Structure 1
């Protein structure tokens, strides 16, 4: 979660659209990252969605598994990621060991 503070500085509080996406390889890691963001955003007015817990909510910061977010971007009512400022892939070295996962990032981007 050392990336959390830097990414929070990029959020425009007046813009209620997804601006930061954090992707992790396991549900447990997504939940841990979301808890760090919850602590850091308390009282700031910045909104946070953990798609592992609330799969239909798009907020200023989205924490998710890549597959889950890819489904939300290409679904019937897709998330609007046109205001995205930061994409963080936690444990990217582990994530990109599987070639199939590179195409998932392409779907999101």
Structure 2
């Protein structure tokens, strides 16, 4: 037995949710990059969210994937406009401003 009360366990479960809600609130109306569990990736302006991490994004651009290898993103994009993103499909959310993409140092060209 861990010795924790039900109230203590409840606070531990709510701490990550509080952090995520604060992060989302701080990045509302800013451009964010969202990666999905199936490999898709979009960039858009975060307009809203709920407790299930469903997101509302505006002015969304999806980065298209290579037709031959779906794990590879191309430089092509398509405009999607206003979208609702379901929380269970999210892999990562990150701000666009202040971030830069670097080459993968482990990707060795033969």
**TM-score where L is the length of structure 1:** 0.25
Greater RCO (Cα-Cα under 8 Å, separation 6 or more): 1
